């Protein structure tokens, strides 16, 4: 499944936006609890301050639209000015957003804002690195379901912001017949046959661990064959044999050093769990001052 736009408003549907808002509320509850005891003791209630979201390293920013969602859960008086957009390449020292707000609210939400934007920007940044490495090929870079529990919508959005393509969002929106399904069902042929009988409208992807399994799978003409942990020479052999009858997806053993060589085998898709389970966060900071300041 691929959602093409990287605009937050267009990417997420109404139900997903409600989910994200509830997630932000839960995150604030986790951090603030019964109250920010430090802020309550040190900051007079009517104090207004401005916070500047600053980049401290290069990367691809993602999650800026969450700032407004998070602040609205604490105050209606925040004035938010975004100076970058999701998907932009950022450099150290860039001001990404400026928020003028009651100081208490600004300090209360600071960590939640940073946690989300740093995490999502890390995923977008790593994805962009992979996408750039295969830009001279026809292979698309895909994510997987190896996401942080409850953050899948946002993490897959970050992949899209980095130029990647979203794989299925869950067990409900695409068939992926994996090795365990095949073993229990009694073989690739039988597994595909059962899926077609049960859900004829669904796109079918099937995992193949050997060239012989690819030969059996292609006779059933699934939409996609997943080449699981194959060498690049094995992938090339499969690409030549399948000859465009199905899309081929490579998975397993993919990293920044191997992805270009894998793409050159001629596979259509490369799925990478590391995009979401191993991306380092991008370093950002929220610098608070006592009066509004202008960017630049």
- Domain layout of the chain by residue ranges: 8-131+280-289, 135-277
Q: In the predicted model, what is the mean pLDDT of residues 72-77?
A: 96
pLDDT confidence of residue 293: 42
Is 146 part of the annotated catalytic residue set? yes
User: Looking at 3, 17, 146, 196, which residue is catalytic?
Assistant: 146
Using the CB atoms, write b or e for 21-55: b if 16+ within 10 Å.
eebbeebbeeebeeebeebeeebeeeebbbbbbbb
CATH topology of domain 135-277: TIM Barrel (3.20.20)
Q: In the numeric block, which tokens belong to residue 12? A: 């997420």
* Residue 37 pLDDT class (50, 70, 90 cuts): very high
Stated pTM of the model: 0.94
User: Looking at 3, 56, 81, 178, which residue is catalytic?
Assistant: 178
* Residue 292 pLDDT class (50, 70, 90 cuts): very low
CATH topology of domain 8-131+280-289: Aldehyde Oxidoreductase; domain 3 (3.90.1170)
Cα angle, residue 70 at apex, residues 64 and 73 outer, rounded to 5°: 155
Q: Residue with structure tokens 């934007």? A: 117
Is 46 part of the annotated catalytic residue set? no
Residue 211 phi/psi, 5-degree rounding, is -65, -40
Query: Which residues are paired to 248 by β-bridges?
Result: 225
Is 257 part of the annotated catalytic residue set? no
* Residue 3 pLDDT class (50, 70, 90 cuts): very low
Q: Is the pLDDT of residue 296 over 50?
A: no
Q: In the numeric block, which tokens belong to residue 72? A: 């609205």
Is 168 part of the annotated catalytic residue set? no
pLDDT confidence of residue 6: 78
Classify residue 140 by burial, with Cβ atoms within 10 Å: 0-12, 13-18, 19+.
buried
pLDDT for 253-286, tens place per residue?
999 999 999 999 999 999 999 999 999 999 999 9
DSSP conformational letter for 165: B
For the chain, give the percent of residues with pLDDT over 70. Answer: 96
Q: How far apart are CA 295 and CA 102, in angstroms?
A: 20
């Amino acid at each position: 499944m691929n959602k093409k736009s990287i605009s937050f408003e267009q990417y997420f549907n109404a139900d997903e936006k409600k989910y994200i808002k509830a997630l932000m509320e839960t995150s604030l509850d986790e951090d603030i609890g019964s109250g920010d005891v430090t802020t309550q003791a040190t900051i007079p209630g009517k104090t207004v301050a401005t916070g500047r979201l600053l980049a401290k390293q290069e990367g691809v920013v993602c999650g800026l639209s969450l700032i407004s969602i998070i602040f609205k859960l604490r105050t209606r008086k925040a004035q938010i000015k975004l100076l970058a957009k999701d998907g932009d390449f950022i450099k150290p020292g860039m001001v990404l957003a400026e928020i003028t707000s009651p100081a208490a609210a600004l300090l209360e939400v600071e960590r939640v804002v940073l946690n989300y934007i740093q995490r999502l920007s890390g995923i977008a940044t790593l994805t962009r690195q992979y996408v750039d490495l295969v830009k001279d090929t026809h292979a698309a870079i895909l994510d997987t379901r190896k996401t942080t529990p409850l953050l899948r919508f946002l993490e897959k959005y970050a992949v899209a912001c980095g130029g990647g393509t979203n794989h299925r969002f869950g067990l409900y929106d695409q068939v992926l017949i994996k090795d365990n399904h095949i073993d229990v069902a009694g073989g690739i042929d039988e597994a595909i046959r059962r899926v077609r009988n049960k859900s004829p409208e669904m796109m079918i992807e099937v995992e193949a661990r050997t060239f012989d399994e690819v030969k059996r799978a292609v006779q059933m003409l699934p939409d996609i064959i997943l080449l699981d942990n194959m060498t690049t020479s094995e992938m090339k052999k499969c690409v030549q044999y399948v000859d465009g009858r199905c899309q081929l997806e490579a998975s397993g053993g993919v990293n920044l050093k191997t992805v270009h060589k894998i793409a050159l085998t001629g596979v259509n898709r490369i799925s990478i769990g590391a995009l979401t389970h191993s991306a380092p966060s991008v370093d950002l900071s929220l610098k608070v001052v006592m009066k509004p300041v202008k960017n630049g």
